[in-house]
Amino acid sequence: MRRFPLFLATAGLLVASAAAHSPYLLPNAFNVGERDHVTVEASFTEAFFAPEVAMKSDDYHVVGPDGVKTALTPTYFKDVAILEVPLTAEGAYRISTGARVGRTAKAYEKDGNWEFLEPGEAAPEGAAAVDMISLTSADTIVIKGKSGGAAPAPRGAGLELLPVTDASAAAGSPVTFRLTFEGKPVGNQPVLLHRSGESYSGAAPTEAKTGDDGAVTFTPDAAGVYLVMTRHRVGPEAEGGPHRSFTAALTFEVVP
């Protein structure tokens, strides 16, 4: 059986999040053979993988098999950003948006969950509204050559969701990811698994929770393009600063 790479993309995440715009990277191939480049689209969408809003970032980059980070220059259209990523040596390439700082919104906590307010809307009586800033990252992993799909090294910063072993997946076989925040495992965290074409099939994403070690396992039952994603909300870095809502997403391919 030929195995192909999986590419991934990001706590407090509910199935209802699928109705919000979510980030993704989508390469035109996950295992490129001997090609010298790969083309990747980047966008926000409400239905994977149909681009709706071009994803802008000042830190698009690729980390090659040698661990070297190289900046990428996107071409922006209204609905999608396009990256052309050079691939030189054999091995796994981690392509990323980097950490994107998004909008700041007002939110308040209710029964352990965060509720967001529309502009100008007041929080309910007895609830304290805080500033919540959005920080988003999306990743994918592409393999060149036949040297295998070893999982890339984590950055150790922000919210990361990466494969535990190699960057490949086959239908009917379990695939495990580990979720970390600032390099430390995030336990008891909901993670969603989306599959391309959900809007046509009516299928809901699969949800699972991480263990104490931050690991979460899914068993995709069919070949296709998938995305794992989670959101993790934490307090301010410094007193008086905004609360932070991190989103991490990783797209990957499952082969028969």
Phi-psi region of 98 (alpha: psi -120 to 50; beta: other; left: phi over 0): left
CA distances from 4 to 30, 63, 114, 139 (A): 7, 19, 38, 16
Superfamily of chain region 15-254: Immunoglobulins (2.60.40.10)
For tokens 């036949």, what's the residue? 146
Q: Specify the DSSP class assigned to residue 16.
A: G
Average pLDDT over residues 206-223: 95
Average pLDDT over residues 175-180: 95
In the predicted model, is pLDDT for residue 67 greater than 60?
yes
In the predicted model, is pLDDT for residue 18 greater than 70?
no
Where b means 16+ CB within 10 Å and e means fewer, 122-131 reads: ebeeeeebbe
pLDDT at 193: 96
pLDDT at 11: 34
The structure tokens listed for 109 are 């906590």
Nearest to 41 by CA among 31, 33, 51: 51
Average pLDDT over residues 243-256: 94
Average pLDDT over residues 199-208: 87
The structure tokens listed for 184 are 């430390």
The structure tokens listed for 181 are 């925040």
pLDDT at 127: 87
Let me know: does 225 contact 253? Beta carbons within 8 Å. yes
- What is the pLDDT confidence band of residue 149, given thresholds at 50, 70 and 90? low
In the predicted model, is pLDDT for residue 4 greater than 50?
no
Question: Which tens digits make up the pLDDT trace of 102-133?
Answer: 888 888 888 878 888 888 888 888 888 888 99
Question: Which tens digits make up the pLDDT trace of 36-61?
Answer: 999 999 999 998 999 999 999 999 99
- What is the pLDDT confidence band of residue 148, given thresholds at 50, 70 and 90? low
Instruction: Write the CB contacts of 125 (distance below 8 Å, at least 6 apart in sequence).
Output: none
In the predicted model, is pLDDT for residue 237 greater than 60?
yes
Residue 34 has a CB neighbour count (10 Å cut-off) of 9
For tokens 């906590």, what's the residue? 109
Rounded Cα distance between 223 and 144, Å, is: 20
Average pLDDT over residues 216-224: 94
pLDDT averaged over the chain?
Answer: 87
Task: Give residue limits of the domains in the chain.
Answer: 15-254
Q: Specify the DSSP class assigned to residue 166.
A: B
